[in-house]
Copies of this chain bind each other. A is one copy, B any other.
Amino acid sequence: MSSNPQIIIALDAMGGDNGIEPNVKGAVIAANSHPIRILLVGDKQKLNESLKGESYPDGSIEIIHASQAIGMDESPRKSIEKKPDASILVAARLVNDGKADALVSAGNTGTVVLAAAKYLSRILGVRRTAIATVYPTMNEFKKNDHLALMLDVGANVQCGAEELAQFAIMGAAYVADIRGVENPSVALLNIGEEATKGGEKMQSAFQLLKNIPNLNFIGNVEGKDILRGVVDVVVTEGFVGNIVIKTLEGAARSLRQLTKMAFKARVAWRLGLLFLRKGLSLLQEITDYAEYGGAPLLGFEKMVIIAHGRSSEKAISNAIKVAGKCVRDDVCGQIGKYIYELEGKAGLEYERLSREL
């Protein structure tokens, strides 16, 4: 083991559609490729069995027992009440107690959000946490880095202009670190480009964002711009972001279905599809990203990554790596710094005192 303080990730090893297998294998991949320590949280016996025969650096993986697990289809609110020893809750407590630096789970999104809200502290000044999704854009497909971020995609239903402004700051801080973009561009998702579009809330958000120093706010973008890659961070409220991201996932799925139909329908098409396999795999990326990238839940003092329920071992290992990178570069601290600058000392002092009372 390295003498440096090692980054420790708590992994909800029971989360996801495919049980512990992709979680354990994903942890092994991550442990073998990065100086990271992973706490596998879940059923000790099953995890031990699953780990048998796997090789990884000494001490890089540790099993932490949790006697319960919350299924993907269970009601988040009820199951959290009923199962205090569920793996996601044990993992969240490990992070809260300082025994791990970040939380990764492929469990039900609502459950992860509630578990984090139950045990983790929001960054001082952050009004609402937000789920961000990384997605590929088309316009810059040839470039190495063609990713963008959208938030909120469902931590909240509605929110106000101030929350939207904070989402912009959190998204920009995350993208700056993870993508290494120096001053990421940020836009509001709206029904037109003009500052007057979208009703009172969007107008206020526009004005707030315009006046944040050092934020590269480029104005409003429309639905048609989302995939074009004209902006690094797309800000919207959870209701809209959730519907947009699912619409895109649905479109990509429909496309795959169509190509399958085409494959069956005509011999000539089948030939064409074989030739086109590589081209079509580019399209596949749209949905893959939802599964592969992992969605950061931003606004807590510790980093939380929500991996897709269908996560493969590769997706889990990637989520662990992303969490580790966020810890190493102190993304949460960066967000806190920017929020502090936005909200001002007085407001935060008041919030700190209220929390202490």
Contact = CB atoms under 8 A, between A and B. Distances in A.
Given A227-B250, A239-B240, 20 more contacts: A139-B254, A191-B242, A199-B239, A223-B245, A223-B249, A224-B246, A224-B253, A226-B250, A227-B251, A228-B250, A240-B243, A243-B244, A244-B244, A251-B251, A258-B279, A258-B283, A262-B276, A262-B279, A266-B278, A266-B279
Interface stretch (A83-91, A267-275, A320-328): A267-275
Given A191-B154, A245-B223, A247-B226, A255 B239 contact: no
Contacts of A251: 227, 248, 251
Contacts of A279: 258-259, 262, 265-266, 269, 272
19 contacts: A141-B261, A158-B199, A191-B238, A191-B239, A223-B243, A223-B246, A223-B250, A224-B249, A224-B250, A239-B240, A240-B240, A243-B244, A244-B247, A258-B282, A262-B279, A262-B282, A271-B275, A272-B276, A273-B276
Interface in A193-233: 198-199, 222-228
A254 B251 CA distance: 12
A274 B276 contact: no
A63 interface: no
A342 interface: no
A217 to B, nearest CB: 19
Contacts of A141: 258, 261
A191 B227 contact: no
A305 interface: no
A189 to B, nearest CB: 6
| Copies of this chain held together in the complex | 2
A7 interface: no
A276 B277 CA distance: 12
A223 B244 contact: yes
Interface centre among A222, A226, A251, A271 (most CB of B within 10 A): A251
Contact of A272 (B246, B247, B273): B273
A243 B259 contact: no
A117 interface: no
Residue of A222, A227, A274, A279 with highest tally of chain B CB at under 10 A: A279
Q: Which of A189, A225, A272 has the most CB of B within 10 A?
A: A272
Contacts of A67: none
A181 interface: no
A266 B275 CA distance: 10
Given A191-B239, A239-B198, A240-B240, A250 B271 contact: no
A142 B258 CA distance: 10
A225 B253 CA distance: 10
A223 B223 CA distance: 14
Interface string A275-313: 110110011000000000000000000000000000000
